[in-house]
Amino acid sequence: MSTAAEQATALNTSELLQLIDAQFEEVTPTRVSGTVAADARHHQPWGLIHGGLYTATVETFATIGAFQAVRDRGQQVVGVSNATDFLRARTGRLRVVGEAIHQGRTYQLWQVVISRDEDDKPVARGQVRLQNLDQKPPE
């Protein structure tokens, strides 16, 4: 596990990130990979995985990578669009791979695929557009 991956995993301090149990294996400015949990905690009332799990995972992995791309410039990133397609419901640990499609001065576009670990069949895929923002100095 790279240092950046360890740092990203250590960010699991919010209740949402703890709930999806994101574990990062690779974190670079152009690629992020790892796994998330998909279990009964993530079910909708009818017993299937809630699509919000997939949406939150897509946004999380894209944001972690996008931040790596701009942090040395003293910038932050914020998601402005998230389009996630739900392909199949699945429980267990899910594999996640996010890759940068475009990285410009003012925005980035990332694609994230969530798949079953045992056979790599996708369960969801998403695209996130993020805006690069200059950090405001503390007041």
Residue-wise pLDDT for 3-34, tens only, equals 766 666 666 667 888 888 999 999 999 999 99
Residue 26 falls within a domain, yes or no?
yes
Q: What residues make up the domain containing 52?
A: 3-134
Q: Calculate mean pLDDT across residues 116-137.
A: 91
Residue 136: pLDDT over 80: no
Residue 139 falls within a domain, yes or no?
no
Give this prediction's pTM.
0.89
Q: What per-residue confidence (pLDDT) applies to 3?
A: 74
What's the one-letter identity of residue 100?
A: A
Residue 77 falls within a domain, yes or no?
yes
Among 6, 15, 26, 59, which one carries the catalytic annotation? Answer: 59
Q: Is 11 left (phi over 0), alpha (psi -120 to 50) or beta?
A: alpha
Residue 51 falls within a domain, yes or no?
yes
Q: Give the C-alpha separation, 83 to 139, whole Å.
A: 35
Q: Tell me the pLDDT tens digit for each residue of 66-106.
A: 999 999 999 999 999 999 999 988 888 999 999 999 999 99
Count: domains in the chain? 1
**What is the C-alpha radius of gyration for the chain, rounded to an integer number of angstroms?**
15
CATH number of the domain encompassing residue 85: 3.10.129.10
Residue 1: pLDDT over 60: no
Question: Is the separation of the CB atoms in 64 and 8 below 8 Å?
Answer: yes
Query: Among this protein's residues, is 118 annotated catalytic?
Result: no
